[in-house]
Amino acid sequence: MNIRLTAALSSFCLVSLVASAKLPAPNEEAKAKAEEAKTKAAEAAAKEAEALGKSQDLVAAKYIKAQKAKGIAVKPTPMPAPTAK
């Protein structure tokens, strides 16, 4: 057991040393691609958040309609709009 633990720790240390090697600085093309990917990801996240909000509103509306059919009054809690940081 101790031999396996020692071997595992030794290999982990070796891998961490190799992984921490200094990489060269990215060139302008790589920086531009990274910025483009970042922008695309942000746009996709915004689109997904909007779709999620719409689906949540739809589910809430169906729930309220079902509760009204049963004679139960439902007052949804108003949520403030998120502020941009």
The per-residue pLDDT string of the chain (85 residues; one tens digit each, 9 = 90 and over) reads: 577 767 777 776 666 666 666 777 889 999 999 999 999 999 999 999 999 999 999 999 999 999 999 999 888 788 788 787 6
Residue 32, token pair as written in the block: 């531009």
- How far, CA to CA in Å, does 36 sit from each of 2, 42, 54, 84? 49, 10, 27, 21
- Predicted confidence (pLDDT) per residue in 25-44, tens digit: 889 999 999 999 999 999 99
Burial of 64 (0-12, 13-18, 19+ CB in 10 A): middle
- Residue type for 55, please? S
How many whole angstroms separate alpha carbon 82 and alpha carbon 50?
12
- Residue type for 75, please? K
Measured distance between the N- and C-terminal CA atoms of the chain, rounded to whole angstroms: 52
